[in-house]
Structure 1
């Protein structure tokens, strides 16, 4: 069943113990190798001839068995021939498919992502590297004793390939439909108030895009007397907000666009009578209605995840940003020595955070101020600032726009602009790309980076008396069970240095040894360690401080903008009064507190913040 004339054999450590790594090869012969061995899944041309779904027992053998059984039942329903095996004594499972026609790495990668999202115990590694990806077939020995044993199906089926590329595509698309990826993640409240333009209208930061197809069609829809004009207006506005339009971009269509009829007119007195013009002035004027609905739409888009299907441009953008982030992460993993000394541990967290923000924004350029990065990574704002400088100097990122007013600096994780300069390659099976593959890939990377940053972003690794940032990063690496050689390679340290780190984490009961390597213990142990070391609550206090600082700065910048913008002096709201009582142009911020000498009173502004003066500007999920 091997696609090549050589199989892969397991490596051993200096003591002779067999490792779960297959660096050497062995010529196929009548007799199998004398040690643990595995077959490559792809042929010498890099095309997959076998598919092996490896469900890792790890800490939860029952989960591996449950996931394998679930996938096996799905394959049976779809008529896909397969063989289910118990991989060895630890409770892992393998599901094998033998392909009647070769599958490209892109298709197999998309399949592995879809299966991983539905069945989390899957180890994608064998399916992501056509050069060395391998798995132990039925009958092959396990390094801890026993052999891979068939549970369902017959091993001889693997020598008579039946599975087609179209069946792989059908499986991938079914899983993607059942586990849709969100188009845009919601803006978290700790990010501070939403930005406002010179006239006080909310907007979402980022480069402006064309309206989604549905919103463009709604903008051009002529309203009949029986139609719900408010729904059509809402469709236009949420699409415009998501596409990073500003209020003035919509306002210029108010007089002519059919889809904005609800802002111009009222429903007739009867179901079939003509619509009536709105008053020219006051809270029911066209400008006032449009401004109020725009504010509601921006807040809705900021706090509600949008589905990928709402924007036809989403899938290619998701595909490009996922491929870019994966390339960056692979490059960083291949340079482990860069991240384990000096400022390296903080730099890797900041790079991961920028990748996470780019995935959320579905674009490589993101606005990322140092306080936001500090909260995501669990480091201080000054540490985040110096990390950005080092990453920029080393060519990992590039600053595209300086900080200005209420906005932080913008950075790109794509200094060479590879997204817009991709060569045009003609690939076999291009027509078989699975629907939703880009969105699924993005979603998987979002989950992996979020989990990684969350694991190290804890009071136990924060400030004096805590464990180091580097130990926090090592702790995050063992969220999945890993061997000592794997951890040595990922940290870029010697075996002795890695063992020292692992022993220190084990001594405080944050990780434990297993039959296959190292893995985390309960997260409750992290909380207990923080309490024992007197560091509990530090990140929460830091978050409160940074949020207050960001809101104060945005408030003062808006005050300065009001003072220097002609024609806005009459539209001020005294502190303590709601902005919703204003006319068509909303000034989102009240008057900045002043002293008796009419100078800015920053102390009074802080006190007003504590009293909730600007709470209406902070987006919260419904």
Structure 2
């Protein structure tokens, strides 16, 4: 934008915006942008200050939310649909839905607020003015509760009383646009009515309504149509989400919960397409948020593209959640959960503070993925010690079982994981995170020396860590980045480009811990399939996600799914063999009469609910167990209870 307004109308708007800022600002100065040597405003930073006087700044400005004493007089909830590469359509729609959802909660509590479109890119700001200053700790509690509900919320400014700031309503943006009011009146900010008690009530309501850490335990965000029923079975939570009228208060979130429930229930894409046509909870895949309180119907192509992209994402999340037990667990002793949260925080800090430790080789990257998977299981189960089989960890991370086993051994040797027990029969080995995990030195009898954080803060921190680990684990888990595809290093580069606008060959080589020549080979493979494009600063992700297309061209589509099926069959054959060994070691009088596998359909034992009645294990001509034949029966679904398969000899 130019140094002075181009027209009288623009000048009036600038003076009006500055007048609003002068009346709202808790401090005597605002922070302003500074032009570079070429007169441009390319960086989104506000390094200079400008006194709150009669003269408006010549460049965009932002005002602090707290005064010099650290008391907040303004609240700003910033919903952003951008990533490092610019606006993401999926994220922006989610930001709009989450902004509307929070606006609805504020209206329920009679909290006067103003909803603004912060710039031409479509971001949202919700502004609330306070009658008196509120301490930073109280606002931080609200910020954590809001973040636990809304993933696109940038809550950093609510945690920083010294520098937390945002561009006020009507103020100009560096791209030439300005913050515009969508709902509400500026007057409610100039004559505030929101008290500290109302802010505390808002924090409590948000804490009660936040989604469960586990998707299977989440509740709908709105009323449910009891008449609707899915055409295929779903869990209780998935059934409720599918029947949520109009997608509830947050259609984007509800729609994804429907897809996640369908992925857990092993639905096919055709089933999802069928449900998206009529299921009330999948309104997000039929219409989109207009950004002004309404919705408009999507085009057929847009709806199909959005549904397909989100279905792939749901399948990735389902894959890492599948090893979790059916029922979650909340530790009765909060010191235990505090220990888990601290250990995971140490792990995540290590990933950020010492990236070279985890990116020096492909083996180190595999260790990083396995450590993240164990941390995720510990958070989700609420247990310090978790049972984690090699195959489950391999499927969660997209690695092979041999690579996962090697990584576990290496992490145990580095004292980052402790093996509590080895695998025994059908039971997986038990593992525990070790960083900052021991509480022995900080306890005196039953009284902890370091009291845990308040429950609300602790649970919200846990939810934030779970979301971070889910993003980390799904970032590069794809058929394309398996060893038969482009390889784990290509997946690592692709994941790095999610968090960086661009990478040069040298910077990528340094982060990957491999030679420049090897890095060029990896980048050339990604470029060949149009997964990355040239950028002024090196290489960047292409705007379209073409991983599925590239996987089809290479011929690795479905590789992770096939690997999961193979591992499941191996587990089943192993359980069958253990039952056979147990039968052989039993006294003859205690052995049950068992038919051959091909003689009849398998059934459950009536007097032992939940235990399988295995048929006789296949035997070779020499009387030894025929494991190849056993795998054949398992891989063809013939061991499933109620199977109607018969062998050709039956």
Please classify the TM superposition score into its range, dividing by the shorter chain length.
0.5 to 0.7
562-571 vs 58-67, greater mean Cα deviation: 562-571
- Aligned counterpart, 1:547: 568
C-alpha displacement of 1:323: 6.2
1:337 equivalent to 2:339? Answer: no
- Paired with 2:65 and 2:533, the residues of 1 have a C-alpha distance of 32
Whether contact under 8 Å (1:397, 1:413) holds in the other structure is yes
Deviations 1:260-296 (A, max 9, x none): xxxxxxxxxxxxxxxxxxxxxxxxxxxxxxxxxxxxx
Instruction: Output the CA distance in 1 between the equivalents of 2:173 and 2:142.
Output: 25
Query: 1:534, 1:33 → 2: CA distance?
Result: 58
**Structure 1 position 399 matched with structure 2 position 428:** no
Matches within 5 A, 1:437-456: 442-443=462-463, 445-456=465-476
Rounded to whole Å, the distance in 1 between the matches of 2:523 and 2:29 is: 36
Which residue does the alignment assign to 2:261?
none
Q: Which residue of 2 aligns with 1:87?
A: 118
Q: Distance in 1 between matches of 2:571 and 2:396?
A: 15
Partner residue, 2:429? 409
Equivalent of 1:111 in 145, 166, 186: 145
Residue in structure 2 matching 1:472, options 491, 499, 508: 491
SS in structure 2 at match of 1:95: strand
**Residue 145 (str. 1) matches residue 176 (str. 2):** yes
Q: Which whole-Å CA distance do the structure 1 matches of 2:587 and 2:37 have between them?
A: 77
Q: Distance in 1 between matches of 2:393 and 2:331?
A: 30
Q: 2:390 aligns with which of 353, 370, 382?
A: 370
Contact 1:555 1:589 in 2 (8 A): no
User: For 1:150 and 1:41, how far apart are their aligned partners in 2?
Assistant: 19
- Give matches, 1:255-266, under 5 Å: none
Taking the aligned partners of 2:38 and 2:488, their CA distance within structure 1 comes to 32
1:476 is displaced (CA, Å) by: 4.1
**1:357 CA displacement:** 1.9
User: Residue 34 of structure 2 contacts residue 48 of structure 2 at CA under 8 Å; is this kept in 1?
Assistant: no
Instruction: Determine the structure 2 residue equivalent to 1:53.
Output: 77
Give SS of 1:181's match: coil
- 1:326-357 Cα distance to aligned partner (Å, 9 max, x none): 55324422322333331233233223322322
Distance 1:13 1:337, change over 3 A: farther
| Aligned residue number for residue 536 of structure 1 | 557
Structure 2's unaligned 5+ residue stretches are 1-23, 82-86, 218-321, 644-650
Q: Which residue of 2 aligns with 1:604?
A: 629
**1:24-423 → structure 2 map (5 Å cutoff):** 24=47, 26=49, 30=53, 35-41=59-65, 50-57=74-81, 58-60=87-89, 61=92, 64-99=95-130, 100=132, 101-104=134-137, 106-116=140-150, 120-127=151-158, 133-138=164-169, 140-153=171-184, 158=189, 162-178=193-209, 180-181=211-212, 306=327, 313=332, 321=340, 324-326=343-345, 328-343=347-362, 344-417=364-437
Measure the CA separation in 2 of the matches of 1:86 and 1:573: 70
Equivalence for 2:307: none
Seen in structure 2, the aligned counterparts of structure 1 residues 91 and 418 have a Cα distance that, compared at 3 Å, is: farther
Query: Aligned with 1:417: secondary structure?
Result: coil
Structure of greater relative contact order (alpha carbons < 8 Å, 6+ residues apart):
1
Cα distance change of structure 1 residues 123 and 586 upon mapping to structure 2, 3 Å threshold: closer
Deviation at 1:136, TM superposition (A): 2.5
Give the length in aligned residue pairs: 487
Shift in Å, 1:146:
3.3
Q: How far did 1:538 drift? A: 2.3
Q: Relative to structure 2, which stretch is displaced further, 123-132 or 51-60?
A: 123-132
Q: How many Å apart are 1:54 and its aligned residue?
A: 1.1
Q: Deviations over 1:293-324 (max 9, x none)?
A: xxxxxxxx99996588xx79499977775565
CA distance in 2, matches of 1:159, 1:513: 48
3-state DSSP of counterpart to 1:54: strand
Q: Secondary structure at the match of 1:84?
A: strand
| Separation of aligned partners in 2, 1:62 and 1:586 | 45
Cα deviation, residue 51, structure 1: 2.7
1:182 is displaced (CA, Å) by 6.0
The within-5 A match list for 1:580-599 is 580-581=604-605, 583=607, 588=612, 590=614, 591-599=616-624
Matches within 5 A, 1:420-435: none
Alpha-carbon distance change, 56 to 103 in structure 1, aligned in 2, over 3 angstroms: same
Compare 448-457 and 43-52 and name the one that shifted more. Answer: 43-52
What 5-or-longer segments of structure 1 have no aligned partner?
A: 187-300
Counterpart for residue 647 of structure 2 = none
Contact kept in structure 1, 2:418 and 2:432, CA below 8 Å = yes
Q: Distance in 2 between matches of 1:63 and 1:513?
A: 29
SS in 1 for 2:77: strand
| d(CA) in 2 for partners of 1:121, 1:335 | 26
**What's the secondary structure of 2:88's corresponding residue?**
coil
| Structure 2 CA distance for partners of 1:178 and 1:329, relative to 1, 3 Å | same
- What's the secondary structure of 1:580's corresponding residue? coil
Mapped contact 2:486–2:525 kept (Cα < 8 A): no
Any idea what SS the aligned residue of 1:449 has? helix
CA distance in 2, matches of 1:126, 1:72: 19
Per-residue Cα deviation, 1:225-251 (whole angstroms, up to 9, x for no partner): xxxxxxxxxxxxxxxxxxxxxxxxxxx
Q: 1:598 to 1:616 in 2, by over 3 A?
A: same
In 2, Cα distance between equivalents of 1:125 and 1:563: 63
